[in-house]
């Protein structure tokens, strides 16, 4: 019952009580359930104030409180990343570039880059 409520309202919970949601994800212990909530949450980000809610998830990633199995589906995060990248390129939002760098840093992408890539 609680899992269903969290799944149905994950975006609203992130916006209203981000610590509650990240605590749930970190201690729930059921990989299938938490991954479903995580992916649903990431897919809901384009309809949310992304510069308000995404930092909460990045903060949890920086604190390493989120389980390692929480990864986006192949295209579940693309629209959000595309919007942030567009804002960064166009200088439309001063928070875009720092947020994009945080996403790259904590997504694991950095480990695949080498000095020769630059």
The pTM (predicted TM-score) of the whole model is 0.75
**What are the domain boundaries of the chain?**
2-111
Give Cα 3 distance to the centre of its chain. Answer: 19
| Tens-binned pLDDT, residue by residue, of the chain (118 aa) | 889 999 999 989 988 999 999 999 999 999 999 999 998 888 888 888 888 888 988 888 888 888 888 876 666 677 788 888 899 899 888 999 999 888 888 765 544 444 444 4
Angle, to 10 degrees, between the axis of helix 50-62 and the axis of helix 96-107?
40
- Determine contact, residues 76/42, Cβ cutoff 8 Å: yes
């Amino acid at each position: 019952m609680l899992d269903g409520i969290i799944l149905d309202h994950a975006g609203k919970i992130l916006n209203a009580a981000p610590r509650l949601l990240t605590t749930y994800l970190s201690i729930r212990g059921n990989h299938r359930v938490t991954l479903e909530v995580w992916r649903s949450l990431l897919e809901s980000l384009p309809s949310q104030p992304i510069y308000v809610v995404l930092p909460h998830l990045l903060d949890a990633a920086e604190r390493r409180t989120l389980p390692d199995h929480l990864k986006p589906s192949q295209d579940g995060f693309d629209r959000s990343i595309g919007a942030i990248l567009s804002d960064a390129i166009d200088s439309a939002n001063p928070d875009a570039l720092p947020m994009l760098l945080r996403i790259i840093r904590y997504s694991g992408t950095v480990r695949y880059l080498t000095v020769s890539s630059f």
